Chains A and B, each alone.
Chain A
Amino acid sequence: MVGIGKTHFGAFPDRDLRHLAVEAGQKCLEDAGAKPEQVEAFYLGNFAGPEFVGQNHLAPYIATAMDIRGVPATRFEAACASSGSAFFHAVSAVGAGLYDIVLVTGVEKMTSQATPKVAEILAGAGDCCGEVKAGATFPALFAMIARRHMAQYGTTREQLAAVAVKNHANGARNPYAHMRKVITMEQALNGKPVSEPLTVYDCSLVSDGAASVLIAPLERAHEFAARPARVLGIAQTSDYVALDQKPDITTFSAVREAAQKAYRMAGVSASDIEFAEVHDCFTIAEIIATEDLGFVEKGQGGPYASAGCTALNGSRPVNTSGGLKSKGHPVGATGVAQICDVVLQLRGEAGERQIKKHSLGLAQNLGGSGATAVVTVLSAA
């Protein structure tokens, strides 16, 4: 990784999807000291541009607006793991020697639609013949996961709320975050219900935003201006889309498998990972991520969160950016934004939220209720 670039995340009524994507891409090229004509392929992650803003054929639409012309420009869709998937395929292509310099951008423009319409569009990442038809939203799917996790492992409302409180505290220190607001445990426990037992404080934000990374082979990293970061291991995996087809909904087997593959490729184990950006689309998802990534035993994610182990000053900080909860969750941008936030820590450029041990980090991006997972292990080059 030889460059990163992000827009602010938030609600931007006067900015369209292309504008956001171009800003992130240009910032990334600037960070790398690279020119658009050096880019040999453009990989775009976007979940629902056609539904949110009515625009299709997005990859060349955005690439040309950045003066990237003539090269392969392709959109990847894997629900909330769209740009994680674009990143995985871009890294694979560079690793295979197809290209040297590839720009990966993730973007989503969500706030131009009213909340019930947003819920309906996002529900398209679920099984429309079953769970969605029965009235499930994404908060409802993760609420059912939370209920089951609580029943099987004794996870509590307070443990869920601890994730929200911690992520808001981190996000308050992130100038690019959507909601830079510290919240109290009392607030988190008394939020308006969205889908029981989840309240608004358990749910990530509906946001606009974009993020980009520039990829090059390690031996060419010195040609670029920014301090490079290295992909030590990466894997993308898949599983059932419908929640009711999974044997056990308290774990995402795709995440477990992706983590094991990525650890093996990197030659590391879970205990070596110093910090992580995980996919906290809902508070329960962060708790399950810490279990599936092997940071704690199955069922121990709740106590792990409430004990402060994942806080900025904890033994293994999780979501130092504020996570999807506070940083924001423009779904198609999230996977690449997580990579950017890991790279900021690796470079020691995370400002007020910089952690002390920052040589080996991980990003975990989840699509839908676990049908796609991408796990990336990163170090300073």
Chain B
Amino acid sequence: MMTTTTAIPEPKLEQTRLGPGDGEVYTETVVWAAPQAYINEAPYQIAIITLDAGGRLTARIDGERVVIGDRVVFADFRNGVPFFRKAQSRIHDQAGG
């Protein structure tokens, strides 16, 4: 039986190089019991981000905690791991110029 491919495309290479762009939190968790490599960073938040450019990726959240549906902006790559921050609201952006 043939099934329709509903795979979400992986982010394009050029997007990855420049940064994946902004997106929305699809799901998230705060990790308390960390693997050996990140034991000194716990608790930390990770999230799956639905990117505006298409596709999803798993990233770390820097700063303020996020919940499902929050807008997030790409911050930077640290050791190859994408970090995102909670987006400031539009009203705040305008107020801040």
The residues of A with any CB-CB pair to B shorter than 8 Å are 115-117, 119-120, 123, 130-137, 139-140, 143-145, 147-148, 151, 192-198, 240, 242-247, 249
Extra 9 A-B pairs, beta carbons < 8 Å, given A151-B27, A193-B43, A244-B58 = A130-B57, A133-B81, A134-B82, A135-B34, A135-B60, A145-B27, A245-B7, A246-B8, A249-B48
Contacts of B47 in A (CB 8 A): 144
Q: Are A119 and B36 in contact (CB under 8 A)?
A: yes
Q: How far is the CA of A120 from the CA of B36 in the complex (A)?
A: 6
Interchain Cβ contacts within 8 Å, total number: 103
Q: Are B33 and A243 in contact (CB under 8 A)?
A: no
Q: Are B7 and A240 in contact (CB under 8 A)?
A: yes
Q: How far is the CA of A151 from the CA of B56 in the complex (A)?
A: 18
Known contacts A116-B36, A116-B39; is-contact A244 B29 (Cβ 8 Å): no
B59-92 toward A: CB 8 Å interface, digit per residue (1/0)? 1100000001000000000001110000000000
- Least CB separation from A198: chain B residue: B29
Known contacts A133-B80, A245-B10; is-contact A120 B56 (Cβ 8 Å): no
Q: How far is the CA of A117 from the CA of B39 in the complex (A)?
A: 10
The A interface, classified by DSSP as helix, strand, loop or mixed, is mixed
Q: Are A136 and B58 in contact (CB under 8 A)?
A: yes
Contacts of B43 in A (CB 8 A): 193
Q: Which of A139, A144, A151 contacts B33 (CB 8 A)?
A: A139
10 nearest A-B pairs in the assembled complex, by CB-CB distance: A143-B29, A131-B58, A116-B36, A144-B27, A148-B27, A244-B56, A120-B35, A196-B30, A119-B35, A193-B32
Q: Does B37 contact A (CB under 8 A)?
A: yes
Residue from A123, A242, A244 whose CB has the most chain B CB atoms within 10 Å: A244
- Min CB–CB distance B28 → chain A (angstroms): 6
Contacts of A192 in B (CB 8 A): 32
